[in-house]
Amino acid sequence: MRKLTTSLCAAGVLAMFSAAPAVADNHADQIALGKAVYMGKSRGNCISCHAIDDPDANLAGNQGPPTISMKARYPDKSKLRAQVWDASKNNPLTIMPPLGKHWILSEEEIDAVVEYIYQF
Partner 1 sequence: MKIIKTLALGLTVAAATQMTHAADTGFDMQTVDPEADRIALQKYFKSRFPESDIADYVNGIYAVDAGSREQWEELEEFPPYEFDVEQGEELFNTAFANGKGYADCFENGGIGIRQNFPYWSKEEGTVKTLEQEINECRVNNGEEPLKWGKGAIAQISAYMAWTSRDKVFDIKIPADDERAKAAYLDGKKFFYAKRGQLNLSCANCHVQGSNIAIRADLPSPQLGHVTHFPVFRSKWGSLGTLHRRYSGCHKDSRSKPLKPQAEEFRNLEYFQSYMSNGLVANGPGSRK
Partner 2 sequence: MKKGLIIAAALAMAPTLATAASFQEAFESNRAMHGNDHVFEWKGGKYHTNHEEEMEARVKATKANAADLLAKAKAKNAEVAKLGFEWKLTGGILKDAQKAIDEGDYQKALNLAAQAKYHARIGIQQYHYAQKNWHLSVPE
Instruction: Note the residues at the interface with partner 2 (CB under 8 A).
Output: 1-2, 10-13, 15-16, 76, 78-79, 81-82, 85-86, 89, 92-93, 100-103, 107, 110-111
Contact partner at residue 119 from partner 1, partner 2, none, CB < 5 to 8 Å by partner kind: none
Is residue 93 within the footprint of partner 1 (CB under 8 A)?
A: yes
What are the φ/ψ torsions at residue 94 (nearest 5 degrees)?
-55, 150
Distances from the Cα of 19 to the Cαs of 4, 16, 22, 65, in angstroms?
A: 10, 8, 10, 38
Contact between residue 49 and residue 84 where contact means Cβ atoms under 8 Å apart:
no
Is residue 48 within the footprint of partner 1 (CB under 8 A)?
A: yes
- Look at the alpha carbons of 45, 50, 55, 58 in this order and tell me if their dihedral is positive or negative: positive
In whole angstroms, how close is the CB of 102 to partner 2 at the nearest point? 6
Residues at the site binding partner 1, with contacts judged by CB under 8 A:
47-49, 51, 53, 59-66, 68, 88, 91, 93-95, 97-98, 102-104
